[in-house]
Amino acid sequence: MKKFIKASIFVICFFCLFNFIFLYLGIPKRPIYYFYKEPRNSQDVIYIGGSNAYVHFNPLVAYRNNGFITGMISSDTQPFPLVKYMIKEARKYQKPKLYIIDIANIHYISASEGSIRLATSHMRFSKNKLDALNNVLKYSKIPKKDYLSYYFDFLTYHSSWKYINKNVVDNSELYKGFLLADVNTKMVKQEKFIWNSKSIPLSEKSKSCLINLIYYLKNNLSSDEKVLFVIPPRFYETKLMGNLNDASKIITEHNFEIINFNTLDDYEANYTLEFYNKQHLNVLGATRFTKYFSEYISQKYDLPDHRGNKKYSSWEKEYHRYTENYKEIMGKDFILK
């Protein structure tokens, strides 16, 4: 019995050490990692999508402006087959009133290694993670012999000890899921983009993923949980634009709301000042976009105001850190209003 207890303690210590070490030996942390850090049932909105989500929408701005709390579950080029599982994951920890689903990656079905890993690596180990991986790997061209390394990340990331640095240890570039780094503080003039409303049918796989997602939402979400699909402001290739028009049609047919930020009358991205590349708003553009969007959803979905609530003091602290670092990077104060 004594030996059994000793062995059990040894194994427990091993797993604690293992978890601690592999917290830092891994792929760069993306917003989903910080999603788990928030208290249970504390978030009003869950925002799911690719880099457009966590580069365009600043939860701190939304909180400061309208008082609601947003959880970001996004990662670079998040493969579309994962969206359903991200919602499932969100529902395990939060009871949000609204899910915002960015569909700019609706065509991204056969995902690359990097995008799958960035999206799933920091998901907590559960049946849902296994299902998510099964689903996304099924569509990918990843060799089957490498599948195991997606379920057990350490098989790939054990060698990342070479890249350990301060930034990896405390990923200071993310602020409640919003990115503020050198890259998105640049201002690169873009050609004005004009939306074309011509529809191009989605591929079979994209359509099947979208329908599957819609049925999941219809069959599982309560009446208190709303869904809003978005097409973020940016440049799109003709085919993707056509696909998004087709997707919009399907979404509307199933009675879900969708906003296309490229066709609104009262919001238009500034292609001279607000982008750092064709697909992404810079921090100025993100602030204006967030202000507009948070105002809209706050009113439409009756979201609560947590400003001044001590329970959410971490948001005030993080906002303070954000403004300080913004000043350091941009050389001027962050102006919200």
Partner 1 sequence: MILTSLTFLLFCIITILIYFLVPKKLQWFVLLLSSIFFLFYNNLRVDTLIYVLLTLMTVYICALLIDKYSNTKKSKWILIGGIVIVLGQLSFLKYTNFLLVTINHIFHLVGKNFEFNFNTRNVPIGVSYYSLIMIGYMVDVYRGLCKSQKNPLKCALLMSYFPILNSGPFIRYPDMENKLYEKHKFNYDNLCRGLIRIFWGLFKILVISQRLAIFVDAVYGNYTTYYGFYIITATIFFTLQLYTNFSGSIDIIMGISKIMGIELPENFRSPFFSKTITELWRNWHITLGAWLKDYVFYPLMKSNIIQKIGTKTKKKFGKKISKKITLYISMLIMWTLIGVWHNGAYTFIIGSGILQFIYMVLEDLLTPIASKVNKKLGINPETFGYKLYQRLRTFLLFSFSMIFFRATSVANAIDIIKYMFVMNPWILLDHTSLYSIGLDVLDFQVMIYSIIVLFIIDYLKLKGNVIDKIFNQNLVTRWIIIYLLIFAVIIFGLYGPGYDSATFIYRQI
Residue where the block lists tokens 């050198």? 182
Beta-bridge partners for 230:
102, 259
Q: Which of 7, 188, 330, 336 binds partner 1 (CB under 8 A)?
A: 7
Q: Which residues in 197-207 are b (16+ Cβ under 10 Å) and which e?
A: eeeeebeeebb
Is 13 a binding residue for partner 1 by CB under 8 A? The answer is: yes
Taking residues 21 to 40 in sequence order and writing x for each that binds partner 1 by CB under 8 A, - otherwise, the string is: x---x---------------
| Shortest distance in whole angstroms from residue 10 CB to partner 1 | 7
Q: Which of 124, 158, 198, 254 binds partner 1 (CB under 8 A)?
A: 158
| Shortest distance in whole angstroms from residue 146 CB to partner 1 | 4
Taking residues 136 to 155 in sequence order and writing x for each that binds partner 1 by CB under 8 A, - otherwise, the string is: ----------x-xx----xx
Is 16 a binding residue for partner 1 by CB under 8 A? The answer is: no
Is 112 a binding residue for partner 1 by CB under 8 A? The answer is: no
Is 15 a binding residue for partner 1 by CB under 8 A? The answer is: no
Candidates 47-55, 157-165, 196-204, 235-243; binding stretch for partner 1 (CB under 8 A): 157-165
Quote the CA–CA distance of 258 and 228 in Å, as a whole number. Answer: 6
Is 162 a binding residue for partner 1 by CB under 8 A? The answer is: yes
| Shortest distance in whole angstroms from residue 129 CB to partner 1 | 18
| Shortest distance in whole angstroms from residue 120 CB to partner 1 | 15
Candidates 2-10, 59-67, 133-141, 204-212; binding stretch for partner 1 (CB under 8 A): 2-10
Measured in whole angstroms, the distance separating CA 305 from the mean position of its chain's CA atoms is: 22
Q: Which of 11, 12, 17, 188 binds partner 1 (CB under 8 A)?
A: 17
Radius of gyration of the chain (CA): 20
Candidates 6-14, 97-105, 207-215, 239-247; binding stretch for partner 1 (CB under 8 A): 6-14
Is 169 a binding residue for partner 1 by CB under 8 A? The answer is: no
Quote the CA–CA distance of 52 and 80 in Å, as a whole number. Answer: 13
293 Cβ contact list (under 8 Å, min separation 6): 57, 62, 230, 261
Q: Rank residues 17 and 187 by Cβ distance to partner 1 and give the closer one.
A: 17
Is 302 a binding residue for partner 1 by CB under 8 A? The answer is: no
SS3 of residue 117 by DSSP: helix
| Shortest distance in whole angstroms from residue 51 CB to partner 1 | 24
C-alpha dihedral sign at 240, 194, 298, 67:
positive
Could you please report the per-residue DSSP string of 224-287? T-EEEEEE-SS---HHHHHHHHHHHHHHHHTT-EEEETTS-SS----TTTSEEETTEE-HHHHH
Q: Rank residues 65 and 156 by Cβ distance to partner 1 and give the closer one.
A: 156
Could you please report the per-residue DSSP string of 128-190? HHHHHHHHHHHHS---GGGTHHHHSTHHHHGGGGGG--HHHHS-TTEETTEE-SSGGG-----
Q: Which of 11, 12, 114, 161 binds partner 1 (CB under 8 A)?
A: 161
Alpha-carbon distances of 245 from 16, 235, 241, 250, rounded to whole Å: 49, 14, 6, 9
Which residues of the shown chain bind partner 1 in the complex (CB under 8 A)? 3, 6-7, 10, 13-14, 17-18, 21, 25, 146, 148-149, 154-156, 158-159, 161-162
